[in-house]
Amino acid sequence: MRVIQKLDHWIGHASHLLMLLSGGLVLLMAWIETYGVIKRYAFHSPDPAAYELSTMFLLFCGVLAVAGVERLDRHVRNDMISSRFPERMKVILLKTIFPFMALIFCVVLTWKSVGNALYSLEIGQVSQSPWALPLAPIKFVIPVGYTLLCLVLLGKLCQGIVLLKGGKNQSETVP
C-alpha–C-alpha distance, residues 168 and 81, integer Å: 24
State the helix-helix crossing angle for 2-42 and 136-164, rounded to 10 degrees.
Answer: 140
Per-residue tens of pLDDT for the chain, all 175 residues: 677 788 888 999 999 999 999 999 999 999 999 999 999 999 998 888 888 899 899 999 999 999 999 988 877 776 777 788 888 888 888 889 999 999 999 999 999 999 999 999 999 999 888 888 899 999 999 999 999 999 999 999 988 888 888 765 544 444 5
How many other β-carbons are positioned within 10 Å of the β-carbon of residue 5? 9
The pTM of this model reads 0.84
Beta-carbon contacts of residue 167 (< 8 Å; ≥ 6 apart)? none
